[in-house]
Chain A
Amino acid sequence: MNTRSTLGSVFASVAVLIVGWQAGGVMLAPQPTTTTSPQTSTPKSVTSQPTGTTTQAAAPAPAVAAPAATSPADGTYTGASVSTRFGNVQVAVTLTGDRITDVTPLLLTNAGAHSVQISNRAAPIVHDEVIASQSAKVSNVGGATYTTHAYLASVQSALDQAGF
């Protein structure tokens, strides 16, 4: 196995791992049975090996000089962007000796809801956080569906009468 194919397989594996990790995150969703949404899909398996991952160890890495070497030189290697069913994935791998010491995702799928899921989750807030905004000058008031009758007693009604 030459250096190039070794690195190729490393990148392919890492890409699959990352895709798996992302999908794993999605699978942690409270409703894993959901299969579609407008933004993304959450397939149940990620066994699909990106085909044609004759990923080439491209670019700004230390030049790999000796094709006959059995282990690649130390350094950081940037993989090609791999197309997966979730979108494109690209990683950089740092090798020290014959060990992978670091993996840096350069490009993660934008289809994965994983990052959204972590960052967009609702958390408790205290009333103090919203109190100041209660007295803001508003143009409209949203609320659970007003009946015509309930409207008459609403803040919206007062705004409308005042021509807001």
Chain B
Amino acid sequence: MRHVFETMGTVASIELPETVTTELDTVREIFTAADQRFSLYAPESELSRIASGTLTLARASSAVRESYERSIQWRIHTSGLFSPNRPDGVIDLNGIVKAEAIERAGAHLDSVGCPSWTINVGGDILVRTDRAPWVTGIADPSDDRSLICSVVLAGSRRAVATSGSAQRGDHIWRGCELGPTHFVQVSVIADDIVTADVLATAIVAGGQEALDDVTGRWPIDVLAIDRGGALMATPGFREAIAA
């Protein structure tokens, strides 16, 4: 059964078997808690207080420090393409908190023995299946109302995240600039949602060079769409494309 609610400035769509609908409240609470803690739009959130200087990172909650540390690790691994530090110095964990919340919500559903579910928050998707694979569409960046393709999520390939400039304008920082990117949309299929999300962001930020680098170092499947609408895909992504 499908459940839809607003959270984190976007919309969550959650598919659960009817027998575990009772878990929906807990799932919802996971997103609400993350949003309250990490949002830079809420003036009283921990991140906002860190940004304004009324709270230091060292005194922040362990949840904030753990997310920050994880972000720093990813910054190192991606040579700075992914970073929790905005050029103006503000710590912005937006790039990872949504994926972490999805991860946590999925772990909760697993922990209560839910065998089959999907979580889609703002277009980033994590699934679990015990039967047929979940077929997932990828939006066409030039047309909200159509799909560029659809892919099969099965086995350990449980996550697909998409980054780009199609929905929110050019929102990905490139170095100190907030400029046009080579790829308008990059989708990454991976075993876990944080890896998928972070690397999709890194490829959008770093362009062709990052695409070649990242696909060489992580076992991920990628579809990248450039400004001219041309598609590039890894062999694994081609195989994942639904018939």
Contact = CB atoms under 8 A, between A and B. Distances in A.
Interface string A85-98: 00000000000000
Nearest to B218: A39
B139 interface: yes
Contacts of A40: 217
B153 to A, nearest CB: 9
A117 B225 CA distance: 20
Contacts of A119: 235
B147 A164 contact: no
User: Do most interface residues of chain B lie in helix, strand or loop, or is the interface mixed?
Assistant: strand
Contacts of B213: 29-31, 34
B120 A156 contact: yes
A104 B139 CA distance: 46
Interface stretch (B8-16, B21-29, B41-49, B60-68): B8-16
A80 to B, nearest CB: 30
Interface stretch (B51-59, B83-91, B160-168): B160-168
Given A121-B216, A160-B4, A141 B136 contact: yes
A113 B136 CA distance: 29
Interface residues of B, number: 70
Nearest to A120: B215
B13 to A, nearest CB: 5
A52 interface: no
B59 to A, nearest CB: 29
Nearest to A153: B144
B137 A138 contact: yes
Contacts of B13: 140, 156, 159-160
A120 B219 contact: yes
B167 A39 contact: no
Given A31-B79, A36-B77, A122-B212, A140 B232 contact: no
Nearest to A157: B11
Given A144-B166, A160-B2, A123 B161 contact: no
24 contacts: A37-B77, A39-B217, A120-B215, A121-B215, A121-B216, A124-B231, A131-B149, A139-B136, A140-B125, A140-B137, A141-B123, A142-B161, A144-B165, A145-B122, A145-B168, A147-B9, A147-B167, A148-B11, A150-B144, A151-B11, A154-B139, A156-B139, A157-B11, A163-B1
Interface of A: 29-31, 33-34, 36-40, 113, 116-117, 119-127, 129-134, 136-148, 150-151, 153-157, 159-160, 163-164
Given A122-B222, A136-B137, A154-B145, 6 more contacts: A29-B216, A34-B213, A122-B212, A123-B232, A145-B167, A146-B167
